Amino acid sequence: MNSLELRPRILLFAAKLGYQTRAFDEAAKKLGVELVFVTDRCHQLDDPWHDRAVAVRFEAPEEAAFAVMQAQSGLRVDGVLALGDRPTMAAAFVARGLGITHNHPASVEACRSKLRLREIFRSAGMPTPWFRMVPLQAIPEPALMDITYPCVLKPISLSASQGVVRVNNREEFLAGAGRLKRLLESAEIQATREPNLDRMIVEEYLPGREVAVEGLLTGGELRVLAIFDKPDALEGPYFEETIYVTPSRFSQAEQVLIQKSFSEATRALGLAHGPVHGEFRLNERGVWPIEVAARPIGGLCARALRFQMEGEREPIGLEELLLRHALGLPGRDAPREPAASGVLMIPVPSSGILEKVEGADAARGIAGISELEITARLHDYIAAWPEGSSYLGFLFARGKDPAEVEAALRKAHAKLNFKLTPRLPVEHPVTRRV
């Protein structure tokens, strides 16, 4: 038996091969792990990872799982990881089929539905806003549904706050519902084949401060890796993310309550193993779970997290920590580094064609800034929220405390200028819609 056959193998499910998968690839090479990518890229295109990727369709997770298990038949598989929301179901089916410790598909499916999440949290006795499921084909009169304001309209299946709108009265409700209906009927969204694109969830607007929490489950026990404060007020009308900073500046008592809520939420959902990401709101009424996802933090935000292994000079990234956890390797319990860190997801000021980016060098020169990554491509169209779901890029900072990190991110962001020009209306060749 040669040395290659002895290398542990991990299946990594990802909706696209990009920055985060490259970080996993680098970590895997460092650990001597063979990483097999499972992605929804076209099977007829050349693979940037030299044909190591298995091409599947994540909108049909059981079919995708069958294709993966066929491709891996007779081969060693030691672990399964998924990035982003869409691949999580296929990953869960594959893990179950191969007998690999993971989350049950039913638990993962519940995380994919905002409606199911609310139902489960309510049944578990957790703080839950009032909510309704509303069809979008013929939007009913809100007064007949006993709707009170302000409230929030959400698509049931989309992520990254896409389509999420706060409304304050009947007129805004009807306008917001119409806008959400147009988004869900768009060719781009219909092409995803996500479920429940003909309905929305309406729920109570929760005032308060918001946090994101990164966690890791082992045998159903939750370990909180980091609590990220969101210092910008997320009050609507749209809810694109901006700044994440850790460690949290909430009191120790409040952080204990956040961790308790996260643990209760994962137990209610039946999640058992692997990375989990949660969003919570805090106000005078308590800690409210907003969302829980059976995956690590999205986009490039993982770069804001580093962990210090005992006896090692250089910290490791989240990707290496997750690989070590999946394989049961030493270092899987490494704590987060003591320095404060943060990320600013650069919001889109208005929808349009990105023509020019100015001030990047000045932003990089701000004290405390560790990295700037412009991910939007020049001459591409990028949509602002609520229709959008992609950021212009990411700013990262490190410092002695969270206040210093936040200040650096704000100063650097102020140096950036993005020139976007309106896109000319074009009729879709199939739907005939502009």
In this structure, is residue 87 part of a structural domain? yes
**Structural domain boundaries enclosing 28:** 3-109
> Is the N-terminal amide bond of 150 cis, ω within 30° of 0?
yes
CA 166 to chain centre: 21
Does one domain contain both 95 and 136? no
Q: Is the Cβ–Cβ distance between 59 and 194 less than 8 Å?
A: yes
In this structure, is residue 405 part of a structural domain? yes
The segments of the chain whose pLDDT lies below 70 read: 1-5, 17-18, 41-51, 425-434
CA–CA separation, 166 and 152 (whole Å): 4
In this structure, is residue 178 part of a structural domain? yes
pLDDT, position 49: 45
In this predicted model, what pLDDT tens digit does every residue of 154-185 receive, in sequence order? Answer: 999 898 899 999 999 999 999 999 999 999 99
**In this structure, what are the phi and psi dihedrals at residue 317, rounded to the nearest 5 degrees?**
-85, 170
In this structure, is residue 243 part of a structural domain? no
In this structure, is residue 175 part of a structural domain? yes
Residue 146 sits in a domain of what CATH number?
3.30.1490.20
Does one domain contain both 429 and 386? yes
Beta bridge partners of 277: 214, 293
Task: Give the end of a domain, one of 173, 189, 204.
Answer: 204
Does one domain contain both 197 and 167? yes
Question: Looking at the 3D structure of the chain, how many domains does it have?
Answer: 3
Residue 395 CA: distances (Å) to CA of 164, 202, 370: 24, 33, 8
In this structure, is residue 356 part of a structural domain? yes
> Is the N-terminal amide bond of 425 cis, ω within 30° of 0?
no
Model pTM?
A: 0.93
Does one domain contain both 103 and 144? no
Residue 139 CA: distances (Å) to CA of 176, 178, 182, 267, 433: 11, 8, 12, 35, 20
Does one domain contain both 426 and 355? yes
Task: Give the end of a domain, one of 145, 169, 204.
Answer: 204
Does one domain contain both 41 and 98? yes
In this structure, is residue 427 part of a structural domain? yes
Residue 169 CA: distances (Å) to CA of 68, 137, 140, 172: 49, 21, 15, 5
For CA atoms 402, 405, 409, 411, the dihedral sign is positive
Task: Give the end of a domain, one of 109, 140, 170.
Answer: 109
Residue 366 sits in a domain of what CATH number?
3.30.470.20
Does one domain contain both 92 and 162? no
In this structure, is residue 334 part of a structural domain? no
Residue 65 sits in a domain of what CATH number?
3.40.50.20
Rounded percentage of the chain residues whose pLDDT exceeds 70: 93
CA–CA separation, 252 and 231 (whole Å): 17
